[in-house]
Amino acid sequence: GAVVSQHPSWVICKSGTSVKIECRSLDFQATTMFWYRQFPKQSLMLMATSNEGSKATYEQGVEKDKFLINHASLTLSTLTVTSAHPEDSSFYICSALSPLRSPSYEQYFGPGTRLTVT
Amino acid sequence: RKEVEQDPGPFNVPEGATVAFNCTYSNSASQSFFWYRQDCRKEPKLLMSVYSSGNEDGRFTAQLNRASQYISLLIRDSKLSDSATYLCVVNLKAAGNKLTFGGGTRVLVKP
């Protein structure tokens, strides 16, 4: 069964509003969570790495003030897209990592959130 | 040069045939390698890890060539349900276990 959940699975919002996406590891504590974005016909691009209790590390070109990441517990990370614009419309996917659960450092992916900004 | 490169395809494969494709990676310090499968508008799902000695899982065989920095995936006896995009993924543990994804190889299995 699914080990990582995301909520909501899809969302439509108006330009200028903010949207929060939740990522939860269901039966394990994730030391690290990752946030990815995928545009149509492109591969996943890592946006940021999130460790519980510390600030997220953002990839080059990703605005940290626009994509706010909070990793408040070992089972929950949130991504807030602030002041969303149509170009932020994308498929946002999180993943969770637990070396205890997977010594090969497999990441477990959530089902993704499809964001459409009108 | 991209860190992980794949032939985007599509590979049009008759049902029952064998298809194979490669992926090259640029960072020689890469430590873990995976093949993921992604269906349209869905999240990636792990197909198999790739080990140095090569490994097989049913109809799927993965190989790793560290000297030439490539990994391969072979699918035997292709099924219609194998139609998907196959993502080559590399883990650089020294970079905080970040996964780097290739652009994906699209496989279409036709009756």
Per-residue model confidence as pLDDT tens for chain B (111 residues): 778 999 999 999 999 999 999 999 998 888 889 999 999 889 999 899 898 888 999 999 999 999 999 999 999 999 999 999 999 999 877 666 788 899 999 999 999
Does the pLDDT of residue A19 top 90, yes or no? yes
**Cα gap A60→A39, rounded to integer Å:** 17
- The pLDDT of residue B38 is 94
- Condensed to tens digits (0 to 9), the pLDDT of residues A32-70 reads 899 999 998 888 999 999 888 888 999 999 999 999 999
Residues of A in Cβ contact (< 8 Å) with B98: 34, 46, 49
Q: Are strands A113-117 and A10-13 parallel, antiparallel or unpaired?
A: parallel
Task: State whether residue B100 sits within 8 Å of chain A by CB.
Answer: yes
CA distance A110 to chain B (A): 7
Asked if B85 and B75 count as a contact pair (C-beta separation under 8 A), the reply is no
What value does the mean pLDDT of chain A take? 90
CA B36 to chain centre: 6
Nearest residue of A to residue B43, measured between CA atoms? A111
With an 8 Å Cβ cutoff, the interface of chain A facing chain B consists of: 32, 34, 42-46, 49, 57, 91, 93, 95, 97, 104-107, 109-112, 114
State the Cα–Cα distance between residues B28 and A17, nearest whole angstrom: 43
Residues in chain B with CB shorter than 8 Å from the CB of A112 are 42-43
CA dist A33 and A25 (Å) reads: 9
Give the pLDDT confidence score for residue A97 in this predicted structure. Answer: 83
- A65 class by beta-carbon count within 10 Å (0-12 exposed, 13-18 middle, 19+ buried): exposed
CA distances from A12 to A30, A63, A64, B73 (A): 29, 21, 22, 38
pLDDT value at residue B67: 93
Instruction: Name the one residue in this structure whose structure tokens are 């090259």.
Output: B24
Which among B99, B81, B85 has a CA at the least distance from the CA of B73?
B85
Per-residue model confidence (pLDDT) at position B98: 81
SS (HEC) of chain B:
CCCEEECCCCEEEECCCCEEEEEEECCCCCCEEEEEEECCCCCCEEEEEECCCCEEECCEEEEEECCCCEEEEEECCCCHHHCEEEEEEEEEHHHCCEEEECCCEEEEEEC
Tell me whether residue B69 is exposed, middle or buried, using C-beta atoms within 10 angstroms of its C-beta: 0 to 12, 13 to 18, 19 or more: middle
Q: Which residue among B45, B93, B104 sits closest to A43, beta carbon to beta carbon?
A: B104
B103 touches chain A (CB under 8 A): yes
- Asked if B100 lies within 8 A of A93 by C-beta distance, the reply is no
Rounded to 5°, the CA angle B3-B87-B59 comes to 135
Task: Find out whether B49 and B36 touch, Cβ atoms under 8 Å.
Answer: no
B98 inside 8 A of chain A by CB: yes
pLDDT top residue among A27 and B68:
B68
Cβ distance of A112 and B43 shorter than 8 Å: yes
